């Protein structure tokens, strides 16, 4: 009974901590979903330990508690793979942003060099003829008639 109670408390505490981190914007929603699944699995396995025994018998494992360890290690490996994929995507995006920044920096330097070489360029508006505003008299509305 004590193991069931401890497992339930751990599962509930983990779920509460995850919800707190999401609410404080310390943990992104997709990551929180993963951890909430871990908390739920901990709670279920803790409250119903005979499920591991039944699954172990179905799979044909002689010592059923090892099934939980194998499943946990498999989930850790999947999580690590997903983290590596996400990190690779972020590094690729960062590299592209760095390249764009370098190109913009070079273009800015070239534009400044052109301005320094020609200190008094004529503004584009000065070379083009401007249309002057025309005042059009509107008929007065009123009592005249």
Spacing of C-alpha 55 from chain mean position: 36
Q: Is residue 49 part of a domain?
A: yes
User: What is this structure's pTM?
Assistant: 0.60
Confidence at residue 33, expressed as pLDDT on a 0 to 100 scale: 87
> Is 141 a domain residue?
no
Q: How far apart are CA 99 and CA 93, in angstroms?
A: 10
Cα–Cα distance, 83 to 92 (Å, whole number): 14
In a domain, 105, yes or no: yes
What does the pLDDT look like over 22-36, one tens digit per residue?
A: 899 888 877 888 888
Instruction: Evaluate whether residue 59 is within a structural domain.
Output: yes
- Residue 142, in any domain of the structure: no
Do 67 and 52 touch, CB atoms closer than 8 A?
yes
Residue-wise pLDDT for 85-111, tens only, equals 999 999 999 999 999 999 999 999 999
Q: What domain range includes position 39? A: 2-114
Residue 75 in any domain: the answer is yes
Tally of structural domains, the chain: 1
């Amino acid at each position: 009974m004590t193991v069931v109670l401890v497992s339930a408390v751990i599962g509930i505490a983990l779920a509460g901590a995850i919800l707190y981190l999401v609410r404080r914007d310390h943990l992104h929603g997709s990551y929180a979903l993963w951890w909430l699944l871990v908390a739920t699995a901990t709670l279920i396995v803790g409250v119903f330990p005979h499920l591991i025994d039944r699954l172990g018998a179905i799979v044909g494992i002689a010592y059923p508690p090892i099934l939980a360890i194998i499943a946990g290690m498999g989930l850790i490996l999947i999580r690590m793979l997903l983290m590596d994929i996400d990190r690779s995507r972020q590094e690729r995006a960062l590299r592209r942003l760095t390249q764009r920044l370098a190109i913009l920096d070079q273009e800015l330097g070239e534009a400044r060099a052109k301005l320094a070489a020609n200190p008094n360029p004529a503004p584009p508006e000065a070379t083009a003829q401007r249309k002057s505003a025309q005042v059009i008299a509107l008929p007065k509305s009123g009592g005249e008639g």
